[in-house]
A = this chain, B = another copy of it.
Amino acid sequence: MSEKEKIGTYRLVAEPFHVDFSGRLTLGVLGNHLLNCAGFHATERGFGIATLNEENYTWVLSRLAIEMDEMPRQYEEFTVQTWIENVYRLFTDRNFAVTDKDGRRIGYARSVWAMINLSTRKPADLLSLNGGGILDYVCDEPCPIEKPSRVKVTAGEPVATLTARYSDIDVNGHVNSVRYIEHILDLFPLDLYRERRLRRFEMAYVSECYYGDELSFYLDEAGGGEYRAEVRKGAGGEVACRARVMFE
């Protein structure tokens, strides 16, 4: 199979309600697009969620790291490309590249996924998926950004709390992956976005939250524009996700 067949390419546009005060696409919306493109790519190659669901399996997003030199401007077209970098027994690495309207690469992303059995919620063996067919799509396209790191948050008191509402909940009944990103970005004052630029965002998804859960947000400032955030279910409760947010 050619490298080109292994890479999915999707054209998008930065819609007016998807840009922030600066007129640039928000990272939450970009995250949404990346995850959609992952879905398109998998579906077109026979291992999308719909097919997996029939076999009682589904994909679970474990980690996501997005690093952007710049964000598309309102109304600008851009392209997302995605491919599989590695397949291990329990995880697969899927990478992304974002290209601007002039064909210039403006950013990359990395994601890590597991497949679980819908009945047992236990991880499944990816190497046996479609008789190992997923391995045919492994591609050596470069992705010149660091892998997601381990994030540790030490703050003892939450800086914000909110209750998971209707708009937070996805079709699986969980708080949706993109909403966590938006809620974490909302921890920072607008002045920080004015003075610096969000360069990199990493997220590790740890456990699911549900409608009515109280989400507590803990935040460490690591210096140099770097912040680490942790979302817990209730003050001091179970960790839902952890993020590393780097402004430049």
A residues lining the B interface (CB < 8 Å): 15-23, 26, 28, 32, 35-36, 39, 49-50, 74-75, 165-171, 173, 176-178, 182, 185-186, 188-190, 193, 211-212
Residue contact B169 to A190, C-beta cutoff 8 Å? yes
A21 to B212, alpha carbons, bound, how many Å?
13
Q: A50-B75, A165-B186, A186-B165 are in contact. Are A170 and B36 (CB under 8 A)?
A: no
Q: A35-B16, A211-B190 are in contact. Are A21 and B165 (CB under 8 A)?
A: no
- Contact partners of A18 in chain B: CB under 8 A: 32
A36 to B19, alpha carbons, bound, how many Å?
13
Residue contact A17 to B176, C-beta cutoff 8 Å? yes
Residue contact B167 to A16, C-beta cutoff 8 Å? no
Residue contact A36 to B17, C-beta cutoff 8 Å? yes
Choice from B22, B171, B185 contacting A16 with Cβ under 8 Å = B171
- Contact partners of A32 in chain B: CB under 8 A: 15, 17-18
A176 to B28, alpha carbons, bound, how many Å?
15
Q: Can you spell out 27 A-B residue pairs with CB atoms less than 8 angstroms apart? A: A15-B36, A16-B36, A16-B171, A17-B35, A17-B36, A17-B176, A17-B177, A18-B32, A19-B170, A20-B169, A20-B170, A20-B171, A21-B166, A21-B171, A21-B173, A21-B211, A22-B171, A23-B171, A26-B167, A74-B171, A166-B185, A166-B190, A167-B182, A167-B186, A169-B190, A190-B211, A190-B212
- Contact partners of A189 in chain B: CB under 8 A: 166
- Contact partners of A35 in chain B: CB under 8 A: 16-17
A166 to B22, alpha carbons, bound, how many Å?
11
Residue contact B170 to A188, C-beta cutoff 8 Å? no
Residue contact B193 to A166, C-beta cutoff 8 Å? yes
- Contact partners of A171 in chain B: CB under 8 A: 16, 19-23, 74
